[in-house]
Structure 1
Amino acid sequence: MNIQIHGIRPEHVSGEPLFEDFLDAVGDFLERHALFQHSSFDSRAIKSATEACNRISAPLQWNDSVKIARRAWPEFKGNGGHGLSHLKTALGLDFRHHDAGEDARASAEIVLLAEAQMGMPYQDILGPSQTRPTRKASVARTGCTDAPLSGKIAVFTGALTMTRRETAEVASRAGITTAQSVSKNVHLLVVGDQDLSALAEDESKSAKHRKAEALIAKGCELRIIGETDFLALIAVS
């Protein structure tokens, strides 16, 4: 699945430095500078890889170019969205999607274009926004019919880094329909990473999680995965 996403095969990394060697080489550099990602996947991937090396994850200065794009081009909401695929077309960007270096450059270009669009630095763009009371919206979404994961149904539970609306919209673009409750028709239950790692006791699990486990025990084809694995899965689209 990972090879499908980034195209990096075992022979490409054979004999190359390990991740912990990468940290020794550039860790101080990363800590000194502002870092940008398009959504929250990169920060969590680096944090997980760091901890897998038995190292303490440094408090890096992460910024999200998705949030910046939302402030600069609010008209894209519901009209293509703020994912890299749509921004590539809408902003006239030239890059090869799902290549790490190309996506990183695209994220940087989005920030620079947003600063030019709004006439202010990214720090001010990310400043506090005015809020007004709104009704709690349903996160149910129907997946796109021509996407790689069309026909799949997912339910979300626990503390996710993205809002429920954001996860539902991302899932929809990958073809996944978002449901509010767990049933035998659901294919995926997506659980917050921190919740998934701390679920030693049954009473700490949500009602959705317990119901999903009961359905799995009965033979239903339902998977329980963490948010990081879910984002990696839909990144293929």
Structure 2
Amino acid sequence: MPAPAPDRPNFGHAAGIPTGHFRFIAIDVETACSDAASICQIGIACVQPDDGIETFSMLVNPRMRFDPFNIRLHGISPDHVADAPCFNEAIGMLTPILNPHALVQHSNFDRQAVTAACRSCGMEVPDWRWTDSVTIARRAWPELKGNGGHGLANLKKRLKLDFHHHDAGEDARAAAMVVLHAERQLGLPFEDLLKPQPRKTVAAKMTLEGDPAGALAGSVVVFTGALQMSRTEAAMLAAQVGMCVRAGVTKQTTHLVVGNQDLTVLAGHDKSSKHRKAEEMREAGHPIQIIGESAFRALVAEENSISRRTAGQTIG
């Protein structure tokens, strides 16, 4: 069923475009066809200092064909844009508000479309500060990888967002809401979300072979969550008693060590994806042990103690 056609804004001037200083602005575009330059709607969502969101959208006449698929997707047809400004006129109206702000797009499509449209019109591509809310969402909810992903449709369901997908103004507002949710999830302001993350150490996803002479040789352990000790330390302790350390839960996993911190997330789950998978495997009859960090420490200490006593008896 086609999306409802958006209301026609006043195309004669820039009335209605938000003004002022905002924390950041999310932007989204819809296109008329497979050509990325065929922008037929631009939407912006301006996030105020109190996190209120002011949304504006306008239709654009791309002056090129409309594909049936695109019309079905967003509900915009050639008739809707007949009196709308062309892209260079529309972008001229929006440039004063967009230039001073960091811009958020959900995936890199919007930047690519703006770049293509500028080049199609013979315009210089604006030197805007772009960031991607998909990248921010991956950082905030890593458990969604392989579990629906970080597209707006899945985030709408997981975060219980209320918006009409494939309307530029609504999708821009959704991207802004994703960032606001991520700020709360990670406890970081928008400016810190823009900072490059340090490269993950090998320990974060390390695999390590266990000591074949260890008391737990043949066991396979996986860690999830933030432990009190470092992942490197935990992996080394496990390997010393014979446990092989792996990054993900598989049929070979015998132990899952869950960090003692609160694992509650906003994405509709109270456990990590590794934890949920381990529980499903256990319910299916797989003999996997799910333990906390304190129990892991006790297990390692006990096996080390047994090994020392055994070694002492052998020497004696």
Query: Which band: TM-score by shorter chain?
Result: 0.5 to 0.7
The structure whose residues are more often strand, as a share, is 2
CA shift in 2, pair 1:25/1:126, >3 Å: closer
Instruction: Give the ranges of 4+ consecutive aligned residues of structure 1 lying more than 2 Å apart after TM superposition.
Output: 129-135
CA shift in 2, pair 1:91/1:52, >3 Å: same
Residue 23 of structure 1, CA deviation: 2.1
Residue 129 of structure 1, CA deviation: 3.2
Q: How does 1:192-207 map to 2 (within 5 A)?
A: none
Unmatched 5+ residue regions in structure 2? Answer: 1-68, 207-316
How far apart are the structure 2 equivalents of 1:79 and 1:24? 41
How far apart are the structure 2 equivalents of 1:69 and 1:122? 12
**Partner of residue 14, structure 1:** 82
How far apart are the structure 2 equivalents of 1:78 and 1:126? 24
Residue 122 of structure 1, CA deviation: 2.4
Q: Which amino acid aligns with 1:75?
A: E
Report the more deviating stretch, 21-30 or 105-114: 21-30
Q: Alignment partner for residue 99 of structure 1, among 167, 190, 198?
A: 167
The number of residue pairs the alignment matches comes to 135
Q: Alignment partner for residue 183 of structure 2, among 111, 115, 124?
A: 115
**Partner of residue 129, structure 1:** 198
**Partner of residue 68, structure 1:** 136
Which structure has the higher relative contact order (CA within 8 Å, separation 6+)? 1
Residue 53 of structure 1, CA deviation: 1.0
Q: Which has the larger radius of gyration?
A: 2
Q: Which amino acid aligns with 1:88?
A: K
Length-normalised TM-score, structure 1? 0.54
| Structural RMSD (CA) | 1.7
Q: Alignment partner for residue 56 of structure 1, among 115, 124, 133?
A: 124
Give the secondary structure class of the aligned counterpart of 1:80.
coil
Residue 131 of structure 1, CA deviation: 2.3
How far apart are the structure 2 equivalents of 1:121 and 1:69? 14
**Partner of residue 41, structure 1:** 109
The structure whose residues are more often helix, as a share, is 1
Q: Which amino acid aligns with 1:16?
A: A
How high is the sequence identity, in percent, across the aligned residues?
50
How far apart are the structure 2 equivalents of 1:122 and 1:76? 21
CA displacement 1:129-167 (0-9 Å, x = unmatched)? 3324589xxxxxxxxxxxxxxxxxxxxxxxxxxxxxxxx
